[in-house]
């Protein structure tokens, strides 16, 4: 396994050491020459040499200093990576998700194929080359991040990656503000993903089209690390369907490495209702029959009239949060609070117009 540390240029390190040793050699030579002329001159040059050398850091010290500064930059400028390792219950956990029938089928087929390849390897049979990198396409709120976390765990269980953790990032965590910073930030994020899966949300935004934009540098750095650290981590790119296809097709390097597309469909009205019911159960709420009927009609209307910006599960989450706020406002005017009325959602609590 390749070293899971910071990516460094051996050539630059070699040049840095040569420069450092050259300066040391010149200083020592001048001190010796000064002593040969006069003891006083020798002492003076020795003091100057010591002061000079204490100001010059060795390449090792410089690298440590850069790494320390980089850690501080990443803490301030980047989203906190989300790391989570799943157990061997990846497929059952996947099947427990609401909706996403085609996604479940594709992930299960991928897992079955990898498993059979592992069995073939144990039997001494030849293996078919397979790319584990994926492109998740679809609208927001369709479960792409959740499935990526589950897939990371499945990859670990099947031996594709060693740890199975997921590092979530977006454009802001990869792009720097000045020349040279983008490669540093991108490499640092990739280093965090070694042994697991790197999930880049809205990856198409890396190519903003501006000449001054550093997105191309991030893409180039990513492609280089995917080659240099092949087999050490998996990359999943996610975003809107059309934008992601245009993004992949814009770069031959991306085209050659990302051939597995998984489309995440929008939720239908019944699935949105199931998500709302799941939130009610999770947070100890109940709903009256007339409120539940009104909620079903509301989701059916929203799905029938949705636009390209429809938020799917995110939309349900917003409806749920507004419902709880309206319930709290209603209960604030009551004096007698019981477990029943604190848990019950009524029709007037729903943020439904008409």
Which of the following CATH numbers is that of domain 90-264: 3.40.800.10, 3.40.640.10, 3.40.50.300, 3.30.70.2520?
A: 3.40.50.300
Looking at residue 211, its pLDDT comes to: 47
Q: CATH classification of 269-349 is 1.10.8.60, yes or no?
A: yes
Looking at residue 354, its pLDDT comes to: 55
Domain spans, the chain: 10-77, 90-264, 269-349
Please give, one letter per residue, the 3-state secondary structure of the chain: CCCCCCCCCHHHHHHHHHHHHHHHHHHHHHHHHHHHHCHHHHHHHHHHHHHHHHHCCCHHHHHHHHHHHHHHHHHHHCCCCCCCCCCCCHHHHHHCCCCCHHHHHHHHHHHHHHHHHHHHHHCCCCCCCCCCCEEEEECCCCCHHHHHHHHHHHHHHCCCCCCCCEEEECHHHCCCCCCCHHHHHHHHHHHHHCCCEEEEECHHHHCCCCCCCCHHHHHHHHHHHHHHCCCCCEEEEEECHHHHHHHHHCCHHHHHHCCCEEEECCCCHHHHHHHHHHHHHHCCCEECHHHHHHHHHHHHHHHHCCCCCCCCHHHHHHHHHHHHHHHHHHHCCCCCCCHHHHHEECHHHCCCCC
Overall pTM surpassing 0.75 (yes/no)? no
Looking at residue 154, its pLDDT comes to: 96
In order along its 354 residues, the chain shows pLDDT tens digits of 444 443 433 444 455 555 556 666 666 766 676 666 666 666 766 676 666 555 554 444 444 443 343 333 333 333 333 344 434 568 899 999 999 999 999 999 999 999 999 999 999 999 888 899 999 999 999 999 999 999 999 999 999 999 999 999 999 999 988 878 899 999 999 999 999 999 999 999 998 655 457 889 999 999 999 999 999 999 999 999 999 999 999 999 999 999 999 999 999 999 999 999 999 999 999 999 999 999 999 999 999 999 888 999 999 999 999 999 999 999 998 888 999 999 999 999 999 875
Looking at residue 27, its pLDDT comes to: 64
Radius of gyration of the chain (CA): 29
Looking at residue 13, its pLDDT comes to: 45
First to last CA, the chain: 62
Q: Do 269-349 and 90-264 have the same topology in CATH?
A: no
Looking at residue 121, its pLDDT comes to: 93
Looking at residue 2, its pLDDT comes to: 40
CA triplet 318, 322, 328: central angle to 5 degrees? 150
Looking at residue 94, its pLDDT comes to: 95
């Amino acid at each position: 396994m390749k070293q899971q540390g910071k990516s460094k240029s051996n050539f630059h390190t070699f040049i840095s050491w040569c420069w450092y040793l050259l300066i040391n050699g010149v200083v020592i030579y001048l001190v010796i020459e000064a002593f040969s002329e006069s003891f006083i001159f020798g002492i003076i040059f020795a003091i100057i040499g010591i002061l000079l050398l204490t100001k010059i850091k060795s390449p090792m010290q410089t690298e440590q200093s850069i790494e320390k500064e980089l850690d501080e930059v990443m803490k301030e400028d980047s989203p906190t990576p989300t790391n989570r390792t799943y157990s061997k219950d990846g497929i059952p956990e996947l099947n427990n998700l609401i909706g996403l029938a085609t996604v479940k089928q594709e992930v299960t087929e991928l897992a079955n194929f990898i498993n059979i390849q592992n069995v073939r390897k144990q039997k001494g049979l030849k293996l078919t080359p397979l790319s584990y990198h994926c492109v998740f396409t679809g609208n927001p709120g369709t479960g792409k991040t959740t499935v990526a976390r589950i897939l990371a765990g499945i990859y670990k269980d099947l031996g594709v990656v060693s740890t199975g953790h997921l590092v979530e990032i977006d454009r802001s965590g990869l792009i720097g503000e000045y020349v040279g910073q983008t490669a540093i930030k991108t490499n640092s994020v990739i280093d965090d993903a070694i042994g697991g899966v790197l999930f880049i949300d809205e990856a198409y935004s890396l190519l903003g089209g501006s000449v001054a934009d550093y997105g191309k540098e991030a893409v180039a750095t990513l492609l280089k690390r995917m080659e240099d650290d092949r087999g050490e981590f998996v990359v999943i790119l996610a975003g809107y369907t059309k934008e992601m296809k245009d993004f992949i097709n814009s770069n031959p390097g991306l085209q050659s490495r990302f051939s597995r597309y998984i489309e995440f469909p929008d939720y239908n009205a019944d699935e949105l209702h199931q998500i709302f019911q799941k939130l009610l159960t999770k947070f100890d709420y109940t709903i009256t029959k007339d409120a539940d009927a009104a909620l079903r009609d509301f989701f059916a209307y929203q799905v029938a009239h949705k636009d390209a910006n429809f938020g799917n599960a995110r939309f349900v989450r917003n409806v749920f949060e507004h419902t709880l706020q309206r319930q709290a406002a209603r209960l604030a005017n009551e004096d007698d609070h019981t477990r029943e009325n604190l848990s019950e959602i009524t029709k007037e609590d729903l943020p439904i117009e008409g």
